[in-house]
Amino acid sequence: MCRRRLEGGRGATTGDKQNGVAVVATTLGEFADLLEQVVVLIRKDQVDSSPIGDAKYPADFVAAVKLVLIDEGGYSNDPEDPGGETKYGIDKRTHPSLDIKNLTQSDAIDIYYKEWWQFYRLDLFPGAIGSKMLNVGVNTGMKQAVLFLQRAVGVNDDGVIGPVTRGAVNKADIGVTLESVREQQKQFYRNLVAAKPRLSKFLNGWLARAER
């Protein structure tokens, strides 16, 4: 779970330009927003731009995994990251036998498809819900993502995707469900940082990710 974020000095006034996009910050809040924009642009550069085997994978998965790859970025070995060594969001803690540093984007996509999209049957949700669940699950763990979803549609929150959860999600308004998941996700990050202040450097990035 990649959680790297750029940091800047307090009270800075700055301008920057990435990929032809000019941005200016004059307050601390604007500076934090600026950094997040720059990070997203950098991450897009880190992601392999070659086509994802569209014929190999379903369209909903391709659209979802592209967002995950942008959010997760390339290689990271931040000691503050609970996932430890990661690349494209695939972490050493849950894949101890993998050579993370030399993992290819194609291999990462295949892992996401088999271990996440197919395993959790995210294809059975409406496209936007399946995409959000993949993105949240990669970052917080799928059980936590499912808890958000179950609370959003008003069913028993046991963290397990079953027929009751699927039925409720498929009957619910997609926009309302997504907004509820986003708000719960943001509060989860705020609570995490309150409990572990050393993670505060990741908060702006996490909150921006929750909005997507």
Express each pLDDT in 159-187 by its tens digit: 999 999 999 999 999 999 999 999 999 99
Residue 28: is its pLDDT beyond 90?
no
Would strands 86-87 and 14-18 be described as parallel, antiparallel, or unpaired? unpaired
Residue 71 pLDDT more than 50? yes
14-211, what's its fold?
Chitosanase, subunit A; domain 1 (1.20.141)
Q: What is the pLDDT of residues 81-123, one digit of tens each?
A: 766 899 999 999 889 999 999 999 999 999 999 999 999 999 9
Q: Give 70's DSSP letter.
A: H
| Confidence class for position 78, pLDDT limits 50, 70, 90 | confident
As to burial, measured by CB atoms within 10 angstroms (0-12 exposed, 13-18 middle, 19+ buried), residue 28 is: middle
Mean pLDDT of the chain: 80
| b/e sequence 184-203, b meaning 16+ C-beta within 10 Å | bbbebbeebbeeeeebebbb
What would the mean pLDDT of 193-202 be, rounded to a whole number?
A: 93
Q: What percent of the chain has pLDDT over 90?
A: 66
**By the 8 A CB rule, do 10 and 37 touch?**
no
pLDDT at residue number 31: 36
